[in-house]
Structure 1
């Protein structure tokens, strides 16, 4: 794990004993490999998450409802479109608007897709390719 300055000179820290870093860090990506530290404000840090790490955190708040024979794992979570958009926006990558309210973000070759309505119902859905044989979908009920 390394710490890099954002403003000013970059400084690297040996974080093999990361106890001084993680107690105050948000429970988001402890294993991400890097923490960015602002050169001006030593208390301001940004945790860099990989898209898979962040997705697993989001998915852990959802309940698995079924698995299809085509490799789709369906989950449900409460919170409606507000929660779906919060989760989508917490993923790394640049947002691309696809039309009809559909948005994507790509990071590390993995693309998360936000659908304002699922094909199987009227609830917002996030879809994420867990691997080549599996796609996770979270449906956000109110």
Structure 2
């Protein structure tokens, strides 16, 4: 693979899953992904959709992006992550190392702190009481 593409960014660009970069005078405008190879892009995006509910770091990445940007952008961003991972595996000739999902998920305390802060910005008075159920 490295004889055809010198970096993972070039492979992602060829596949059409690289993020667009439209910036002028420091203002970021709509960033559409490149056209690339439509068949390869379609396969990688389908792989991202297939992985959206799995309990691994790739599924967590999809869900984290989907919260902010929506499902179509999340599928392209997840396809970009997966193509970078595959390129690194093929370049270094190593096995895939699973990274625990808990590193990427919000903890209950962080989520409560973030939501409390948002409510206080909207001028609400907030008092938190644990329910004792143990999950959110």
Q: State the TM-score, normalizing by the size of structure 1.
A: 0.25
Q: State the structure with bigger RCO (CA 8 A, min sep 6), 1 or 2.
A: 2
Q: Would you tell me which structure has more helix in proportion to its own residues? A: 2
- Which structure's residues are more often strand, by fraction? 1
Rg larger in 1 or in 2? 2
